[in-house]
Structure 1
Amino acid sequence: MSTAVCPGSFDPVTLGHLDVVRRAAGLFDTVVVAVATNSSKRALLDPSRRVDLVRAATADLPGVRVELVPGLLADFCRDVGATALVKGVRGGADWDAELPMALMNRHLAGVETVFLPADRAVSHIASSLVKDVARHGGPIDDLVPPGVGDAVRAALAAAGDR
């Protein structure tokens, strides 16, 4: 049985993320969506809320489960028996950011990274842009799975950001 990990901060989960998870589910027996903390970013949604939102968004996908990454992604991959990481790339900037991480994960855990090119229909969607649009009162519900827009708006309101 093949197991892949789709890691990300998913702050918030977007339709672009779901596209990658769906496509990965067609390639691997099991896909573990790994909700991680990016130490270089300040998260809007707390980790447990992100896990809940991703679980709701992937509930209809057989072979997909969602887990919180408690520490180093390489250790998580070893713990779940992953043979691959799956990452979506939208363009050259994503490739430049992802390649060093892919090489480090292979070095640390022996796990290979599979890069899936973004579908053009969702390649413009980034979590940071979704938050920025929402922060300025713009519409985001067509960029995220059901319920995520409400969660983002509520978190922004609670933070005094909107």
Structure 2
Amino acid sequence: MPTNKFVRAVFPGSFDPITNAHLDVVRRSVKIFDELIIGVGDNPAKDHLFTGPERREMIDELIKDMPEVKVECYSGLTVEYVRSKDAQVIVRGLRNLMDVQYEFQLALINRTVAGIETVFIMTDERFGFTSSTLIQEVGRFGGDVSGLLPPSVYEKLQIKLKKSKNK
């Protein structure tokens, strides 16, 4: 029986930087959910290349033609953030089998602790190896990562890496 219930989902991550794989998950999520909030997390355990506001700005630029998508920075527990947004679902992208094991554990704890469901979206097979951390590393050593990032993000990454190299 169809329902007309509005479903808000949160796609959390560090997005440092946002990749074509992330955008693939966003594009597919908007076909499923009424509203998608991209939660740009501040993880103190990670040494971020871009600041939270810089990451948000890059994403805002990429989603300007997607009215059902919002971008926000947050800190703290993801499930608490999801609750604060009155979202029913956490969206997670899966690239490969290694992701499945880790994400499965997170999904179970989030459902047990907070009653929040997780929906997994498989990324396009072209992105099965893509990670922001790996892109940063390859970029630092001069590797060509242009095909893994939106052009505007690639430009910002090049500028950021050049600045960090000159320090």
TM surpasses 0.5 = yes
Runs of 4+ residues deviating >3 angstroms: none
State the secondary structure of the residue aligned to 1:121.
helix
Match of 1:78 in 2: 83
The answer as to 2:23 corresponding to 1:14 is no
Q: How does 1:31-50 map to 2 (within 5 A)?
A: 31-50=36-55
Question: Could you tell me which of 27, 52, 59 is aligned with 2:57?
Answer: 52
Question: More displaced, 97-106 or 152-161?
Answer: 152-161
Unaligned runs of 5+ in 1: none
Q: Normalising by the residue count of structure 1, what TM-score does the alignment of the two structures yield?
A: 0.92
Contact 2:96/2:129 (CA < 8 Å) preserved in 1?
no
State the secondary structure of the residue aligned to 1:142.
helix
Q: Distance in 1 between matches of 2:10 and 2:51?
A: 21
What root-mean-square deviation, in Å, do the aligned CA atoms of Structure 1 and Structure 2 show? 1.6
Match of 1:160 in 2: 165
Contact 2:43/2:75 (CA < 8 Å) preserved in 1?
no
Unaligned runs of 5+ in 2: 1-5
Q: Distance in 2 between matches of 1:35 and 1:51?
A: 7
Question: Could you tell me which of 111, 114, 129 is aligned with 1:106?
Answer: 111
Distance 1:84 1:141, change over 3 A: same
1:41-96, CA deviations, whole angstroms, 9 ceiling, x for partnerless residues?
21111111001111111212230110111322111111111110111111111112
Q: How does 1:60-75 map to 2 (within 5 A)?
A: 60-75=65-80
Contact 1:33/1:65 (CA < 8 Å) preserved in 2?
yes
Amino acid at match of 1:42: D
Distance 1:161 1:139, change over 3 A: farther
Q: Normalising by the residue count of structure 2, what TM-score does the alignment of the two structures yield?
A: 0.90
Amino acid at match of 1:116: I
Larger radius of gyration: 2
Cα deviation, residue 124, structure 1: 2.5
Cα deviation, residue 161, structure 1: 7.3
Match of 1:150 in 2: 155
Amino acid at match of 1:134: G
Q: Distance in 2 between matches of 1:161 and 1:89?
A: 35
Q: Distance in 2 between matches of 1:105 and 1:147?
A: 34
